[in-house]
Structure 1
């Protein structure tokens, strides 16, 4: 009985947090830049960038909590930004609650050789589904035997299975010297995601992020790719009454990037320590062609959601970028630092 009560307390904490927070968060936010902020779309050195990130959250808890985001971006130099496409999928719980979203992104930048200010717009279609056949109701539970698989229920399930809705977002990002700051708002139109017809608006998600790049070799006449940097960052999320703050530092040297983070979930949300590693494999320096691998692991520190009963959370990311044989033109900003210089 003690184990059952403990299991229920963990699941209640999990369900309450997920019900309020709505959107998932990536520990490797720097390897999911468009998900973080649509203003970061098209902000890379090549012409085409493909990214994918996968998150397996609290892997030993019953029910799947997995998330995936894939993006394809085209850098248009005369815009200082570009156009992109993003697909996000989340699978939560034993009832196979699935959320899908596909969005188009447009970004544009203004500035000079000293700063770059980028703007991004996002619009798309969201969808969520649930397998009602996986739900268990009171009349399917025998007082002596418990749940009887395959038993029927008299509950009226109605149209509890599928919902489509329009979704939108916008963001802004500033890079000035060694300083970068940005913000984004998702679900600007607060779409109704109700299954039953009763209004259930998806709350807006606000994101703010700040980073600073500290050159550890300021007096050495080396290319940027040969230097070492320390990059402290803070990312804050706010959705409904849930606030989460992730703060940490990365050490970047050539093609290797290692980071250590702490994410606090406030009074009601889970907290964790995060370790991340990123490796860039340059296929061709002249063609700006490279392959990026990222790996991170979260160790929860909350009372009910800790490492011993969740085994933590693991993320893996893969990115590829290249330059097309016939470029669209020279970059709008030749010497200004851009957001990709930070990560």
Structure 2
């Protein structure tokens, strides 16, 4: 019983450590995971429907690799609406797995938002999210003191651990909200975007885990997930006919944890002719907290402002680089936009770029 209590306490400590230090799963390319960043970004894109997927594989050089996958879809309800604003809804599927215990989190989130145009170039969006998730862990690859054979002086996986756990999974509900302000150079009355006015700015904040869901696996003991605040600012500055500068900053505050990210990139428009639009973005980012963390180069290819694919790789600079040999995490993002014209007489131009 004493060993079991120690192990259970250790699980709580490790779980709390994950909540208090690594916090929620995250993406280096946070601009390409908008629903994870802020529910207020639901429907903030050029088109009617957006489908996206993100994958991250971190610390493969050590035996406790972290893997994260997200798939999202959101849609704007603009056709046939008489007013200037519009509603949007979305859904996100998240899966995250970490460590030898395969501590996992599977989650389904629903999103809703409303965008109100302040004028032809400025828009304010408020969004909500509600989800259902499950946390779980597996003991198959864990080692316990009773599996240490004192006669031969080594660990023996065939020995029973004699340990049982009342709960190895936990279901929780989650809720959040956010607000986003968009300014763009392109005016909403323009019917065709020839990529001549590309400057834009998004500023907002996402507030996650408003209900502070319980993450504990132990009965009669609660470990509440702290509220996470995610302020950010992303912008595109058109500096020439074919060239843009893209800048983005984001911070995350959760309990005592602080994380900051900054990215900068150059986007070259290789072809701006309608139906043949191509662009390439080369960027670099830096993520830091109290331990340092990582910097990462990034490459993004965009076709016709509809299909984009991006790749980045974290280069670890924290003290953990002794174990990782500076190899952090590979991250992939894919996004596809569906653009359509509303049938007459209900035609309504999509105002956001």
The TM-score, its normalising length taken from structure 1, stands at: 0.82
Matched, 1:108 2:114: yes
Contact 2:176 2:208 in 1 (8 A): yes
Supply the distance in 2 between the matched residues of 1:295 and 1:81 (Cα, whole angstroms): 31
**Pairwise mapping of residues 52-67 of structure 1 onto structure 2 (< 5 A)?**
52-67=53-68
Contact 2:214 2:225 in 1 (8 A): yes
Matched, 1:122 2:129: yes
Q: Which has the larger radius of gyration?
A: 2
Greater shift in the superposed pair: 20-29 or 116-125: 20-29
Equivalent of residue 257 in structure 2, options 228, 239, 242: 242
Distance 1:172 1:256, change over 3 A: same
Equivalent of residue 257 in structure 1, options 281, 288, 294: 281
Q: 2:96: which partner in 1?
A: 90
**Pairwise mapping of residues 1-343 of structure 1 onto structure 2 (< 5 A)?**
18-20=18-20, 21-77=22-78, 78=81, 79-110=85-116, 111-143=118-150, 144-159=152-167, 161-177=168-184, 178-197=200-219, 198-217=221-240, 227-254=242-269, 255-265=279-289, 267=290, 269-282=291-304, 290-305=306-321, 309=325, 311-324=327-340, 329-331=347-349, 333=351, 338=352, 341=353
> Which blocks of at least 5 consecutive residues in structure 2 are unaligned?
1-13, 185-199, 270-278
Which consecutive aligned stretches of 4+ in structure 1 deviate over 4 angstroms post-superposition? 14-17, 324-329
SS at match of 2:140: helix
Q: How far does residue 112 in structure 1 lie from its aligned partner after superposition?
A: 1.7
The TM-score, its normalising length taken from structure 2, stands at: 0.80
Encode CA deviations 1:120-170: one digit per residue, 9 max, x unaligned: 1000101111113333221112244432113212334222x1110110111
Distance 1:308 1:324, change over 3 A: same
Contact 1:50 1:320 in 2 (8 A): yes
What RMSD in Å do the two structures reach over aligned CA positions? 2.3
> Which blocks of at least 5 consecutive residues in structure 1 are unaligned?
1-13, 221-226, 283-287
Encode CA deviations 1:186-243: one digit per residue, 9 max, x unaligned: 11100012111210111111101112332212xx6xxxxxx42112221101112111
Supply the distance in 1 between the matched residues of 2:15 and 2:315 (Cα, whole angstroms): 19
Distance 1:171 1:44, change over 3 A: same
Contact 1:125 1:165 in 2 (8 A): yes
